[in-house]
Amino acid sequence: MKFRILSEELRRAAVELAPCGVELGEELPVEYREGAFQIAYDGERVVISAERKVQFFYALKLLADEGLPEAGTTLSPRSSFDDLTYMLDCSRNAVPKAETLKELIRHLAVLGYNSLGLYMEDTFSVAEYPYFGYLRTPFTGEEIREADEYCKRFGIELVPYIQTLAHFGTLTRHYAMDRLFDTGDILLVGDGEVYRFIEALIATCAKYFSSRNINIGMDEAYMLGRGRYLDLNGYRSRFDIMAEHLKKVVEICEMYGFHAPMMWSDMFFSQAMSAQYGDDLPAHVAENLPRNVELIYWDYCSTDRKHYAEMMKKHRVFKNKIGFAGGAWKWLGFTPDNRYSIVSCGEAARACVRNNIRRFIVTGWGDNGAECSVFATLPALLYCSRVNYGKYKVNAAFKRSFFSLTGVKYDDFMTLDLCNRVTQNDDVEEKNSANKYLLFNDVLLGTLDTTVSGEVGELYASHAQRLRLAMKRAGRWEYLFRTQYRLARVLALKGAMGIRLRAAYAAGDGERLARCYGDLKELCRRVDVFYEAFSAQWERENRANGFDVQDLRIGALKQRLQSAIRKVGAYLETGAPIPELGEKLLDHMGHGDAFEIDPDQCEWRWRRMTSVNVNE
C-alpha cells in the first residue's frame, strides 16, 4: 500500500521511512488532523487524527501491516502508556554516529515511541570541564541539536539521561576531576564545587535539548558517604545524604526549566525496604522526597508478572509519580537476548497496566563495552511497541509487521540470539552471556571451563550453520548476522578448547594434544575473521573512540592463543611442561570440586572472565 500524504511537512518526513515499511505513492490519500488518536476510512481517503505527531507515523505502519479498515469505519487504537521511551546507552564506549541515531529514530517513529533517551555519563561536551568526555568523542551541542531537530520531524522527544551522583568511573581517571569524588565513582555530596559541576551538566542539557524532561540518574551509589564524605562529616545515614542531595539537584533542575525530573528509584527504594524499616516506611522518609520527582522502578530480570506487581505496590509507599523501565537485552556482550526481553517486558507491561503506571521505558544498556548493535534488538522494540496497544502475542500478525519493518523474517532475525544458547533447551529462563565469556575465557587458565560441557563446541557449530543460512536472507542487516556467524565459528572451536587441552595434557595424550595444536592455529584464523566483521559493524554504527578497548581485549585473546600454541608445540616437541594445564580447577560458582554446569551464567565483566591475576 502506497500513501499520498496530503501534508507536505509530514510527507517530507515519511519519505525517509520506506526501509521501515512505509511507502509513498499516489494510491491512497492520507490526511492528518489533530485530535484523539483514530484512523478513519471513507472508501476514498484515510483521515488520521492524532494527539502526537508520532502517532501519525505509527498509524501509517499499522495500515501498511494490517490493511485498510472497512469503508465507513473508524479505528481508535488506545495506548497503554502516556510515554513509551527507548533509552540508548551512549556511555559504554559506543557513541553512535549521527546516521545511526537517525536510523534508530526512523524505526522508533513507525513503532510509535514518543521519546528517545540518550544515556550520557560523560559523553556530551560541557564547556567548563574539558576533561568531561575527554578522548571519548562526546556529543557536541550542535550534534545534540541536530538529533533533536530530527526527532521533532517525527514527533519524538529527545530526552537527556545523565548522572548527578555516581557512575562517573571514567572521570576518576583524570587528576583534574579528583576533587569531585567521595569514593569510587560517587560524587562528594555537599561540596560546593560538585554542585557547580552538576549545574554545568544541567545547564548544558537545557541549552541543547529542547525537551524539559530529564533523567538525573542517582542509581547504584551504594558506598555513598563512606569515603571522603565520612572523613569530613562523620557517619550519616545514606538515605539522609541522598535526600539532601536530591533536593539540591532538583533546585538546579528547576532553575533551568526541568520541573519534573526523573530518577532511578533503587537508592531510595532499597533503603526504604531495608531491614531498618521493613515494609513500614516511617512517614518522614517518604515526606522528605520532593514531590515533583518521578521515581523510575527499573527491573530487567524477571518473567513473573506477580513479582513486578508486588514491587510496584511497594513503590507506592512513596507519594511520587512512578514510572517503569524494562530492558531490550543487549548488555551481555556481542549478542542480544530478544527472547528473554520479549517475555520479561510483556509481563512487566501487564503489571504496569494493572497498577496504572503510565511511563514505560525500554532500556538498551551496553555494560562493559557496548559490543552489541542496537538494531540487533529490533524484535524486542517492535514487541514493546505492540504491547503499548495491548497486543501481547508473537503471532502471524507480529511476524508480518516485523518483516515489513526489517525485510527479514522474524524467525531468521531471532537467530541473532543463538550465541547465548549453550543447551538445546527451548527455555526462556536460560539467560547467559556465553557469547562473551566463552570468547574471552583463557584457554590455558580456564576459570570458566567448569561452567560448560565438553559438547558445547558441537552446539556452536550448529548455531553457526543456522546463522550462515539466515545471513544469506538478511538484506541490509547482513552485517549483523556476519558478526554473529563468525563469532559462532570461533566458539565452535574455542568453547570447549580449555576442557580438551586439560584432559589431553592430564592423560599425556600426545595425539589429542596434536589435534588441539592444529585447532588452536585454526582458532587464531577464525578470531581474525571475526574481528574483521565486528570492527566493520562498529565502524558502521559508532565513532572510533571506544573501539580501542576491543582492540586491547581481542588483541590479548590472540596473544594468549599464540602462547598456547607455543607451549603446546614445545610439549609435543620436547615434553616441556605446561604449568597452567597442570593446575587443578575449582568450580567457578564456589562449589569446590563439584563443577556446576551453568546455562544461566551471566558474567559480563571482561576482567573477571579472563584471569584471576592482578589486572587493574
Q: What is the pLDDT of residues 233-276, one digit of tens each?
A: 999 988 889 999 999 999 999 999 999 999 999 988 765 554 44
For residues 186 and 256, state if they share a domain.
yes
For residues 336 and 437, state if they share a domain.
no
Q: Is 134 helix (H, G, I), strand (E, B) or coil?
A: coil
Question: What is the predicted pLDDT for the residue at 273?
Answer: 53
Banded model confidence at residue 284, pLDDT cuts 50, 70, 90? low
For 363-411, the DSSP string reads EE--TTT--S-GGGGHHHHHHHHHHTTT----SHHHHHHHHHHHSS-HH
DSSP 130: T
Q: Is residue 363 part of a domain?
A: yes
Is residue 441 within 8 A of residue 449, CB to CB? The reply is yes
In tens, the pLDDT along 310-329 reads 999 989 888 899 999 999 99
- Which residue range forms the structural domain that includes residue 63? 2-75
For residues 246 and 301, state if they share a domain.
yes
For residues 92 and 170, state if they share a domain.
yes
* Distance (Å, whole) CA 545 – CA 137: 6
For residues 71 and 87, state if they share a domain.
no
Taking each helix axis from N to C terminus, what angle separates 510-541 and 547-574, rounded to the nearest 10 degrees?
Answer: 170
Backbone φ and ψ for 484, nearest 5 degrees, come out as -70, -40
For residues 54 and 109, state if they share a domain.
no
Banded model confidence at residue 211, pLDDT cuts 50, 70, 90? very high
Domain boundary residue among 75, 101, 128?
A: 75
In tens, the pLDDT along 128-180 reads 999 999 999 999 999 999 999 999 999 999 999 999 999 999 999 999 999 99
Domain boundary residue among 352, 380, 406?
A: 406
pLDDT (mean) for 539-543: 98
For residues 531 and 561, state if they share a domain.
yes
What is the grid cell recorded at 173? 581517571
In tens, the pLDDT along 249-259 reads 999 999 999 99
Strand partners, 5: 30
For residues 317 and 291, state if they share a domain.
yes
For residues 139 and 180, state if they share a domain.
yes
Domain boundary residue among 406, 433, 461?
A: 406
% of the chain beyond a pLDDT of 90? 88
Task: Kindly report the CATH number assigned to the domain that includes residue 108.
Answer: 3.20.20.80
CA distances from 212 to 56, 261, 285, 435 (A): 23, 9, 28, 39
| Identity at 285, one-letter amino acid code | V
For residues 291 and 233, state if they share a domain.
yes
Task: Kindly report the CATH number assigned to the domain that includes residue 60.
Answer: 3.30.160.230
Task: Kindly report the CATH number assigned to the domain that includes residue 525.
Answer: 1.20.120.670
For residues 597 and 502, state if they share a domain.
yes
Looking at the structure of the chain, the number of domains it has is 3
What is the grid cell recorded at 608? 573477571
What is the grid cell recorded at 69? 479498515
What is the grid cell recorded at 108? 522508533
Helices (H), 273-320: 283-287, 305-315
- Chain centroid to CA 521: 34
pTM above 0.85, yes or no: yes
Q: Is residue 411 part of a domain?
A: no
Q: Is residue 58 part of a domain?
A: yes
* Distance (Å, whole) CA 80 – CA 360: 9
Q: Is residue 615 part of a domain?
A: no
